[in-house]
Amino acid sequence: MNTERLAAFSDGVIAIIITIMVLDLKVPHSAEWAALAEVGPVLLSYALSFVFVAIYWNNHHHLLHTVTRVNGAILWANNNLLFWLSLVPFVTAWIGETHFARQPTILYGFALLMPALSYFLLTKVIMRGGADDSKLAQAIGHDFKGKISIVFYVVGIVAGFFLPAISYGCYLLVAIIWLVPDPRIERSLKED
Amino acid sequence: MNTERLAAFSDGVIAIIITIMVLDLKVPHSAEWAALAEVGPVLLSYALSFVFVAIYWNNHHHLLHTVTRVNGAILWANNNLLFWLSLVPFVTAWIGETHFARQPTILYGFALLMPALSYFLLTKVIMRGGADDSKLAQAIGHDFKGKISIVFYVVGIVAGFFLPAISYGCYLLVAIIWLVPDPRIERSLKED
Amino acid sequence: MNTERLAAFSDGVIAIIITIMVLDLKVPHSAEWAALAEVGPVLLSYALSFVFVAIYWNNHHHLLHTVTRVNGAILWANNNLLFWLSLVPFVTAWIGETHFARQPTILYGFALLMPALSYFLLTKVIMRGGADDSKLAQAIGHDFKGKISIVFYVVGIVAGFFLPAISYGCYLLVAIIWLVPDPRIERSLKED
Amino acid sequence: MNTERLAAFSDGVIAIIITIMVLDLKVPHSAEWAALAEVGPVLLSYALSFVFVAIYWNNHHHLLHTVTRVNGAILWANNNLLFWLSLVPFVTAWIGETHFARQPTILYGFALLMPALSYFLLTKVIMRGGADDSKLAQAIGHDFKGKISIVFYVVGIVAGFFLPAISYGCYLLVAIIWLVPDPRIERSLKED
């Protein structure tokens, strides 16, 4: 199996994940602005998760670009990532419908942490699958962004037991960190 | 990231957006024509939005064709456009279910205005990302269609506070303007 | 816009249409066989429509293969076909839920007739867009299959007012006619 | 029609099948952990089916790689496989919502058996379509995995009438067997 194929399938799944979240925006049966206002929190949670999934799509694309040959371990590490990403719409709807209540907020952090850990695992598997002089090994380096994201998610989850607002602060910080595409991989690829 | 990849992901998201709108056509539980008639307004709103999303797919495709190298700004300007387009099914269902009532009609205009502004922004970002002798800069020119569309949407939104019928007149005008693929870009591409 | 792109977008939309029909199979809340039996008619209608949409995908693919250059007319004739195909899931669910009652059966015939007419229109538009020595013009010939399908659909629709069973007989006949890929186009392409 | 096209359409359908299963995870309206716990069985059934569909995607990809020319028989044997796979989300939701009750467990086995038989049929059709010295014929050999899977599914279905737990044991065994990509096909392809 070539990288192209794996990327196309992943892109398909991620495109569906990012789009079906909008199905959780229940259409108000009344035509009043007040009825629309009730959709507000679900819309907000959708916008937040849209950004997270878009970040994954972007970084995932960069990552797969460094793979030269797909093996079974890479395939299943990738499927594992897609599985956890596919749960994001469910948790997104839960925080939206419960107006960002405590338990859903904690689960949301968990639902973001699991893809982060899966992405980290995928990176490791790709590094082992490629040669030790692979572009990726050089490019990722100490992978500061990946590690700090995991720390922020864990802090956000713990904070959720006390004050959900702090959790969302942590989650937003991760989004901001990743919004900029990783210059290390880009630089490494450009040197070819 | 190459343009091909960005176009494929965008196409996937737009294909899903245009198709899931049909899920809002609720199947009548009775087998009578009268029960079917109730679906009429939702079907009409679906047909209208199908045309709008199809226009975006078409023009978006032409636009991405002029991009030679995707940078982070283009990527996120494109994600921004996809986000606003993904809200179209929700608002489409709202105008259908409320039989084109005032507030939903105004919001529908807004839901069409935001992708228009996002598309305009994407055009600007692509122009800055490419060289000043880029085909696009030449091709778009003063971008009369894009600007007049935004004017029509704003007029339609304002008119919605008084008479929704005028709003739909404005929205339809925009559809008619764009139904013809942009000859300026096509001409410019053909000169290659 | 090249043919490849148009085919990819169409494939995406058709893949979604064929798959979301399964969402109309409502999961029984009881674990009894009796509860499952109620799903029977919807499953049957799904299987029928799956075959029809798969036939369109197959023939549509063959047809686009003969296009050398996409113009605006081809683009919108294709969008028109996709629009009518996208209504098939809705009507499929209606015949299933009403156990193949009279009115839904008539509408089902109409929902199959419209893509057939749209496909016919697309063929004509492609013939005009290509050169008069185009492979397609030669390949399609008198297009017996396309014309007889339209006749069968119309007969099926009219029969629906008297006896729905005859309608399904007509619809099935069309499916059988098309299940064999068109030898004329294949032969013509092979002669290259 | 080339293999690439058939693979792309199949990938699209499989990507949608694997993702829409998540729509059956109904969002709890309460923000309590207890409300979340009710989703547990549906989540478990989703994870199980995710693995099965991912295995099919993987093996299907390997299989299509051995096809040199798509004919009508291969096309419809492939559509037949996609049809049965598309029913997996429905049965998955049924076992989840009924907490793995007897009848749904039996049907789940049937819903896994049918794609297995369809996959077997597709293999046969591809072998007939290709030359007798085809890579596939050599690669598949006695197809031990495929045959033992069918045996396990049948045992699982029969066991379901007595003790559903045994059924899931059988189904899991099949998943484990297939999780490793088929070394026979890979070896054969590598020898090129």
Taking an 8 Å cut-off on Cβ atoms, the answer to whether D76 and C28 are in contact is: no
Task: Give the burial class of D187: count Cβ atoms within 10 A of its Cβ; 0-12 exposed, 13-18 middle, 19 or more buried.
Answer: exposed
Taking an 8 Å cut-off on Cβ atoms, the answer to whether A181 and B107 are in contact is: no
Report the amino acid identity of residue D87: L
**Residue D150 clears pLDDT 70, i.e. is over it:** yes
What is the percentage of chain C residues whose pLDDT exceeds 90?
54
pLDDT, tens digit, 9 for 90 and up, residues D81-123: 999 999 999 999 999 999 999 999 999 999 999 999 999 999 8
Q: Spell out the residues 6+ positions from residue D51 whose beta carbon is closer than 8 angstroms to its own.
A: D175, D179
- Dihedral of CA D45/D48/D54/D57: which sign? negative
pLDDT, tens digit, 9 for 90 and up, residues A62-97: 788 788 778 888 889 999 999 999 999 999 999 999
User: Which of the four pLDDT bands, split at 50, 70 and 90, describes residue C140?
Assistant: low
Pair of tokens at residue D135? 């890579």
Closest by Cα among D113, D132, D115, D119 to D74: D119
Task: Give the burial class of C8: count Cβ atoms within 10 A of its Cβ; 0-12 exposed, 13-18 middle, 19 or more buried.
Answer: buried
What is the percentage of chain A residues whose pLDDT exceeds 90?
55
CB contact at 8 A, B12 and A11: yes
Q: How far is CA C64 from the centre of its chain?
A: 15
pTM metric for this prediction: 0.90
Average pLDDT over residues D123-130: 80
Q: Which residues of C touch B7 (CB under 8 A)?
A: 5
Q: Kindly report the three-state secondary structure assignment for every residue of D140-192.
A: HCCCHHHHHHHHHHHHHHHHHCCCHHHHHHHHHHHHHHHHCCCHHHHHHHHCC
Pair of tokens at residue B52? 């709008």
Query: Rounded distance, CA C109 to CA C157, Å?
Result: 5
What is the rounded (10 degree) CA torsion for D27, D32, D34, D39? 10
Average pLDDT over residues A22-44: 90
Residue to substitute from C86, C91, C97, C114, interface B, most B β-carbons within 10 A: C86
Touching B: which chains, 3+ CB pairs < 8 A?
A, C
Taking an 8 Å cut-off on Cβ atoms, the answer to whether A15 and B17 are in contact is: no
Cα separations (Å) of D81 from D13, D62, D95? 11, 15, 22
Residue to substitute from B23, B27, B56, interface C, most C β-carbons within 10 A: B27
User: Which of the four pLDDT bands, split at 50, 70 and 90, describes residue C131?
Assistant: very low
Taking an 8 Å cut-off on Cβ atoms, the answer to whether A31 and B90 are in contact is: no
Q: Spell out the residues 6+ positions from residue C150 whose beta carbon is closer than 8 angstroms to its own.
A: C113, C116, C117, C120
Closest by Cα among C178, C138, C173 to C58: C178
Query: Rounded distance, CA D167 to CA D158, Å?
Result: 8
pLDDT at A64: 83
pLDDT at B134: 58
Touching C: which chains, 3+ CB pairs < 8 A?
B, D
Which residues of chain A are at the D interface, by a Cβ-Cβ cutoff of 8 Å?
1, 5, 8-9, 12-13, 16-17, 20, 23-24, 72, 75-76, 79, 82-83, 86-87, 89-90, 93-94, 97-98, 101-104, 107
Nearest Cα residue in chain D from A97: D29
Taking an 8 Å cut-off on Cβ atoms, the answer to whether B12 and C12 are in contact is: yes
User: Which of the four pLDDT bands, split at 50, 70 and 90, describes residue A3?
Assistant: confident
The answer to whether ipTM exceeds 0.85 is yes
* Widest CA span in chain A: 62
Q: Which residues of A touch B103 (CB under 8 A)?
A: 31-33, 36
Q: Which residues of C touch D90 (CB under 8 A)?
A: 22, 25, 27, 39
